[in-house]
Structure 1
Amino acid sequence: MEKPLDDAYIQMDEGKLDRRSAQEAIHPGGHDTAAAADTEIPRNLDAPAPYPLEVSMEDACDSISQDRKIGRALVRLVSTVIFCCFAAVALSRRPRTTLQWKQVLAVSSVLATKGDKTVTADSPIDFFNIGNVDDVYDWLTDTLVPSIFITEDINDVLLPTDERGRVANLNKVLGGVIIDVTRKSVGPCNPNDVVVALYPNCGDADSTTLERSFLDINLNATEAAAAIVELKANGKGIDYYTEKLVATVATYNSEFQGYSLTTLKLKFQESGYIKPTSATNSARATPYQWKDATADAIYVLAYIAWLVVIFYWGTERKTKHLTPKPRTDTGSSARRLFRNLWRACVLGGSVPVFAALWAVLECKVNADAFRSNLQKLADNNWESDEEALAILLPVVDLLDSLTDWTYALALVGAIVAIQLGLYTLFQLSFHPQLSIFTRTMSSALRQFAAFFVVWLIAFGIFVCVGSILFGSDVEEFSTRLRTMQACINMLFGTFDYDSIKDLQFAFIYYWCFMVVVSLVLLNLMLAIVLDAYDEVRKESYKGKASLMLDGRINGFCLDTYHRKKYARCSQANAKPRDDDLEAADVFERLGADASKLTNDYVVLRGKIDPWLLLQVVQAKMDQEGLAARRRTSNTQPPSKLTMTALVEMFPAANLTRRQLRATFKYLHEGLLINKSAIKKRKMLDEEQAKADEEERGDHSNDDDDGRSSFLTPSEATLSEAARVVALERKLDRLLAEVLSTRAAIREAMAA
């Protein structure tokens, strides 16, 4: 049973370290904690501290740097959430809206009719009920023409010219209806066929001709039907060698300023089956307005501000203690710039792509040629069908391209949402509990590689078997793609078993799939995810370092809320003397003299304000480094933070022993968090190195398989031992090089 976290938490690092080992882990070589206690400080607590009451200044800065990392992570998270709100508003205004979907529904329900109602000799045939060539003509004259060429209202009153030709009441047909008939050329069938005399002529799909007809919107229903009959009589209609028929209708709805383009296609397949398909797409026609420009400018500024926060203010930068500034290299600067550009493309590169696509759509809709053709269609004064087609075809082509651009815009908008959503999830990685989803998926994906291969093989086998067994009898298995969809439906329980229950082997196939794929493999996948989740959950909610980090994050938020501005302390407003370089540096950092700050400004939630302590310690280290380099002092200041040193830093605060101990507890807690992070990173590196070593060993064994097959067990053991000895020697050489380099750096700094 695990012990609760209290002041003695440092005595049990992962439940194994005692007090002395914990001190040695934080301060190699050990320190005398008794010497750290100052007899001049009043003893408010007589109990011995379970952690050293001293810490090096470097370790103190590293410990408080946890707060800097937490702060930057919170800034990145909050800025990303705010920008996601802006992006959500922009995405909701740009792609297809609900009104466009309703326009598509209204137009398609009138033109592309379908239904299972009872059909009589007098009822018009629906588009999706077309079964033969005669049905095509009946649909054109009895269904399509009356739906478009409307000249009278429900009371048989003649409509005004501007109200004629409206589909679904409010969608005005532009120009008329374009009917394209693609006809295959007729040629002899295969002469080697024994039944060539029964079927001498066939259609050649590689050699086709296009015959285009136009039905003017100025015609009434009777005249339009007569025009179709005339096409049939002139041989320009449909026959047995027709490949496809396409009827195109473009409409405009001024109620919400939107275009629609409906394409009704009849595909005459080689088997004799006529396959009807329809597509109705909508595009907004709203002209670009200045109020839109203002909103777009706000989105652009929000995007730029977000990038600045992510790549500059929200990025962790190393603190300059005593490290000399490296020389800038042009090549490294170029690489850094390229790396930042690549990060921008990965994180939010789809946002400018989305804006560019929207700009293309606006330019196309507001093009002069397009609006000029619309004006000509509105004038309705062409003299021939050829002239009308010359005006209408560019409009149809542009509306068709708008459909493609609109789909591309919707796709990029979806990518924007996915990118921002994933980045928001990854921004939660600093929190041990909030990052449980991403860490679970990351852990599970490492085990998914082998399992996914097995799952694909099993799934592919059932797809092939289903297509072979039922492809000629059931539409759901007629192609590989449809069979895959049917198998996915079976996997999630949405497949209609009645469609195959009367077929041979259907029972065996269905239950084999359910047992192997749905019950066994799917549950194995869930087991992998649950195992990864259990591992992450134990680390997140029971790991001592994770609990410490969780408390530190909460404490950072409270510290930020309760922190006071140091410049408001009236006793610390006076600027220190110029000869006191350390105090002047602190005053420049804080805007106040730290030595004169009162207890209300120094102590924050029972401990010394970490941000204040960091600034004072950094100033002290900088001055210490300058003194060492300039050789202005033979005696060096103390390089450790003790209770006495803290009291000397803030003499006006009258710090109590409880506050000092809480400060040291806070510092040592940060060191333990850093140590845990380093330990985890080291374990990951060791696992990766082990995997790489095993892979190299496998390759070497494969290359030398003939020789290794004759090795005895003792020889194999000796070769493995030799490899281990070689690795140990290599590590020793690397360690010696590191130590020599470190000594050289110290000598250079001392000089």
Structure 2
Amino acid sequence: MRSAVVMAARAGASSVTQQEAASALQARQHLRRHFGYLPIPIAFYLVFCGMALTHVPIDRMYPAETGLYSALVTTGTDAITTATTMKYVNIGSQSDVFSWLTDTFIPTTFVTTDYNGKNLTNADFFRRIQLFHSILGAVEFQTTSATLVACSGSGPLQTIYPHCHDVADVATEYFYLDAGTTATEATALVAAKQANGTWLSLATTKLDMTLATYDGELKIMNIVTYALSFGLGGYIHLESDIVAVPTDPYDGAGPIVLDVVVGLFFLGTLLAEVRRGRQRRLRDLVGFWHVIEWASLVAICVFYVLWAILCSYIYDGNFTILLTAVGASSASFNHGTNATSARANLTQLTGRIKLMGQIMTSVRVVAMVVMLLLVARILRAMRFHPNLNVLTSTLARSLSLFGPLFCVYAVCVAGFVSAGHILFGERLHAFSTLGYTLVTVINLSFGQFDFASIADINYYVALFYYWSTLIVLFLVLFNLMLAIVLKSYDQVTETHAANRSVLAEMSVLARHAVGRDVTAALHGKLQSTKASWSAKDVATDLGISEARARRAIRDVKTLAQVQRAPETTAVESDSVVARLETKIDRLEATMAQLLTQLQATRPSTPADVDV
């Protein structure tokens, strides 16, 4: 019995029917169209990535920003002794600000000696940080001070604390350290400010420091900003940022060529979508994948609008004049007849570079959005094949089941966020705001949190909070979500991806593209003669070897297994399910009425007549 089954299976594998040949011919046309289109969105993505990385030169921005960050932000030691230098992130009081300025910032910024302590003889190396980043103009210090007013309230508490500060009524003061200042001179100026006692005082609410540099080796401008916010409770919030901007993004033909190629892909995609829109109904054009197509086109337009604005600032003649006036000027920014104009030019220059940095950040964010949308277009192009469509199919099935569970997850997260904020917010920065607490709770649920940081506050409360968060959010809810995803993946692979192979189908199409079209010839023969041919019959009639005939039959059977996917498979939604249920109910009601009518019109039988 078993041998008979094996022989029958071999006979079926070495023969082909007319229906299989017809299905293979139709499937081949379908696969040729989709496999032929697939490289287009992939190429679009790669070209855009190449263009974005050319306009946003990360390979030059990273060493520039990292060099400045290591010199101006991380320089110093964590151990605070009389023999160590203060690190910026360790500033905890106003006196620490002066220690950091005199011991760390000034020696690093105003360099006049090499690493051996010898004076620099080459004037080109003056005014440079780490001998690479030339300081433009001066370092700007802006202090904001609040007005002293009477504290609100009455009684003994007002007597104990009579005066407060109105942070809404502030005054601003500027102070500059010229780029040509030596470290000794800069230290003396800061020491004089400290001795005066009014530059940083109890009324000071904020200290902003701005430093603009240019690296000619990398052709990168940098804007370095420090923001020290002095809270009314004595807490100092520290922020620092470094933004790099290329000074000549079109220094060759490469960027222009990439822009042109991206424009060609953009126009091709736009024309294809417009043509598709004319051929289809409006309801079909608001589907998920069509929204992705149009969103990618809109995002590319936004990217180039921002890029055009940035380039207009970079290549502006007034910007060049400001660079020359500030960078090549030797005027003092604090005293002298030209101090006012020098400060005005420096303020305009730093403001312009800050604006350019903000636009550059926006360009990078929009570029990220475009890249993600272009990746989604690639996933859309892969939907024709179940093995390539496994990600989107799994997500579609999972999202349809995530609704109720996500509501439960959101409620639990909200509970742990509010509890963590009220328990630990007064002591820990990670819980000081609801936003920070949300991020902390998510990290805690994935094990990225140090229990010791909350254990020092209240061990038993922290222990209960920590393990309850892990158990509920991770061990239960997260694993339920993971189970839904795995179940959806199993359903997708079992239902759609069985008996299909991307490599096998691509190899069949490649052989048919470079060799004789045996499938079409075989289909024509089967239509005109008999319905089933063996490998020997195919070899004899088509004039090929029997081995090639068997391979042709295997190709036909491979293509015959292809089940054409619908062109627009939208993600299942509640509205679609509701309409389907309504139709089923209507069909059941119609069938019930039909059954009632049939029973009413049934002819009488002798058994139905009473004797």
C-alpha distance in structure 2 between counterparts of 1:202 and 1:670, whole Å: 82
**CA pair 434-68 structure 1, distance change in 2 beyond 3 A:** same
Confirm whether residue 243 of structure 1 aligns to residue 205 of structure 2: yes
Confirm whether residue 377 of structure 1 aligns to residue 326 of structure 2: yes
**What residue identity is the alignment partner of 1:83?**
F
Q: Does the 8 Å CA contact 1:264/1:278 hold for their aligned counterparts?
A: yes
Which of residues 302, 310, 314 is equivalent to 1:353?
302
1:569 aligns with none
**1:107-506 correspondence runs (5 A):** 107-113=68-74, 115-121=76-82, 123-153=84-114, 154-157=116-119, 159-192=121-154, 194-231=156-193, 237-286=199-248, 288-300=250-262, 303-304=265-266, 307=269, 344-382=293-331, 383-502=337-456, 503=458, 504-506=460-462
2:521 aligns with 608
Which of residues 518, 525, 529 is equivalent to 2:485?
529
2:536 aligns with none
**What residue identity is the alignment partner of 1:421?**
V
| Deviates further, 99-108 or 295-304 | 295-304
**CA pair 685-726 structure 1, distance change in 2 beyond 3 A:** farther
- The alpha-carbon deviation at position 536 of structure 1 amounts to 1.4
C-alpha distance in structure 2 between counterparts of 1:655 and 1:494, whole Å: 67
**What residue identity is the alignment partner of 2:209?**
A
**CA pair 78-124 structure 1, distance change in 2 beyond 3 A:** closer
Deviation per residue, 1:199-225 (Å, 9 max, x gap)? 111110111111112222233233333
Confirm whether residue 691 of structure 1 aligns to residue 578 of structure 2: yes
Q: Does the 8 Å CA contact 1:265/1:278 hold for their aligned counterparts?
A: yes
SS of alignment partner, residue 429 of structure 1: coil
Count the aligned residue pairs: 571
SS of alignment partner, residue 432 of structure 1: coil
**What residue identity is the alignment partner of 1:527?**
A
Confirm whether residue 539 of structure 1 aligns to residue 510 of structure 2: no
Q: Does the 8 Å CA contact 1:149/1:217 hold for their aligned counterparts?
A: yes
**CA pair 532-686 structure 1, distance change in 2 beyond 3 A:** closer
**CA pair 421-136 structure 1, distance change in 2 beyond 3 A:** same
2:589 aligns with 725
SS of alignment partner, residue 260 of structure 1: strand
SS of alignment partner, residue 275 of structure 1: strand
C-alpha distance in structure 1 between counterparts of 2:67 and 2:572, whole Å: 61
SS of alignment partner, residue 240 of structure 2: strand
Q: Does the 8 Å CA contact 1:548/1:673 hold for their aligned counterparts?
A: no
**1:60-139 correspondence runs (5 A):** 64-113=25-74, 115-121=76-82, 123-139=84-100
- The alpha-carbon deviation at position 396 of structure 1 amounts to 0.5
Deviation per residue, 1:457-508 (Å, 9 max, x gap)? 1222222222222223333323222222222222222211122234232222
C-alpha distance in structure 2 between counterparts of 1:687 and 1:367, whole Å: 54
Q: Does the 8 Å CA contact 1:54/1:643 hold for their aligned counterparts?
A: no
**CA pair 333-364 structure 1, distance change in 2 beyond 3 A:** farther
C-alpha distance in structure 2 between counterparts of 1:253 and 1:450, whole Å: 55
Confirm whether residue 511 of structure 1 aligns to residue 467 of structure 2: yes
SS of alignment partner, residue 382 of structure 2: helix
Q: Does the 8 Å CA contact 1:175/1:377 hold for their aligned counterparts?
A: yes
- The alpha-carbon deviation at position 241 of structure 1 amounts to 0.8
- The alpha-carbon deviation at position 192 of structure 1 amounts to 2.4
C-alpha distance in structure 2 between counterparts of 1:397 and 1:686, whole Å: 49
Q: Does the 8 Å CA contact 1:112/1:264 hold for their aligned counterparts?
A: no
C-alpha distance in structure 1 between counterparts of 2:132 and 2:576, whole Å: 69
Q: Which runs of 5+ in 1 are unaligned?
A: 11-44, 318-327, 564-602, 617-639, 647-652, 698-719, 731-751
Larger RCO (alpha carbons 8 Å, 6+ apart): 2
| Deviates further, 80-89 or 237-246 | 80-89
Deviation per residue, 1:110-152 (Å, 9 max, x gap)? 2224555433335443322322222223333343333323344
Structure whose CA Rg is larger: 1
Q: Does the 8 Å CA contact 2:387/2:502 hold for their aligned counterparts?
A: no
C-alpha distance in structure 2 between counterparts of 1:513 and 1:695, whole Å: 42
C-alpha distance in structure 2 between counterparts of 1:197 and 1:430, whole Å: 79
SS of alignment partner, residue 383 of structure 2: helix
**CA pair 68-525 structure 1, distance change in 2 beyond 3 A:** same
- The alpha-carbon deviation at position 182 of structure 1 amounts to 0.4
1:744 aligns with none
**CA pair 424-335 structure 1, distance change in 2 beyond 3 A:** closer
1:13 aligns with none
**What residue identity is the alignment partner of 1:406?**
M
C-alpha distance in structure 2 between counterparts of 1:681 and 1:149, whole Å: 64
- The alpha-carbon deviation at position 73 of structure 1 amounts to 0.8
**What residue identity is the alignment partner of 1:173?**
I
Deviation per residue, 1:693-724 (Å, 9 max, x gap)? 65899xxxxxxxxxxxxxxxxxxxxxx8x984
C-alpha distance in structure 1 between counterparts of 2:400 and 2:60, whole Å: 45
SS of alignment partner, residue 156 of structure 2: coil
- The alpha-carbon deviation at position 187 of structure 1 amounts to 0.5
- The alpha-carbon deviation at position 336 of structure 1 amounts to 11
Identity of aligned residues (%): 24
Q: Does the 8 Å CA contact 2:396/2:572 hold for their aligned counterparts?
A: no
**1:32-51 correspondence runs (5 A):** none
Deviation per residue, 1:252-286 (Å, 9 max, x gap)? 11111111111122110011112222112211112
C-alpha distance in structure 1 between counterparts of 2:55 and 2:9, whole Å: 55
Q: Which runs of 5+ in 2 are unaligned?
A: 332-336, 533-539, 595-611
C-alpha distance in structure 2 between counterparts of 1:90 and 1:487, whole Å: 38
SS of alignment partner, residue 99 of structure 1: helix
SS of alignment partner, residue 176 of structure 2: strand
C-alpha distance in structure 1 between counterparts of 2:433 and 2:52, whole Å: 36
| TM-score where L is the length of structure 2 | 0.79
C-alpha distance in structure 1 between counterparts of 2:385 and 2:47, whole Å: 25
SS of alignment partner, residue 405 of structure 2: helix
| TM-score where L is the length of structure 1 | 0.66
Q: Does the 8 Å CA contact 2:50/2:258 hold for their aligned counterparts?
A: no
| Deviates further, 260-269 or 192-201 | 192-201
**CA pair 695-218 structure 1, distance change in 2 beyond 3 A:** farther
**CA pair 724-386 structure 1, distance change in 2 beyond 3 A:** same
| Deviates further, 406-415 or 348-357 | 348-357
**CA pair 289-549 structure 1, distance change in 2 beyond 3 A:** closer
C-alpha distance in structure 1 between counterparts of 2:234 and 2:392, whole Å: 54
- The alpha-carbon deviation at position 359 of structure 1 amounts to 2.9
Q: Does the 8 Å CA contact 2:504/2:558 hold for their aligned counterparts?
A: no
**CA pair 203-78 structure 1, distance change in 2 beyond 3 A:** same
C-alpha distance in structure 1 between counterparts of 2:129 and 2:137, whole Å: 13
**CA pair 152-512 structure 1, distance change in 2 beyond 3 A:** closer
- The alpha-carbon deviation at position 423 of structure 1 amounts to 1.8
SS of alignment partner, residue 186 of structure 1: strand
Which of residues 505, 523, 529 is equivalent to 1:643?
529
- The alpha-carbon deviation at position 248 of structure 1 amounts to 1.0
C-alpha distance in structure 2 between counterparts of 1:137 and 1:144, whole Å: 10
**CA pair 519-695 structure 1, distance change in 2 beyond 3 A:** farther
Confirm whether residue 561 of structure 1 aligns to residue 561 of structure 2: no
C-alpha distance in structure 2 between counterparts of 1:643 and 1:79, whole Å: 41
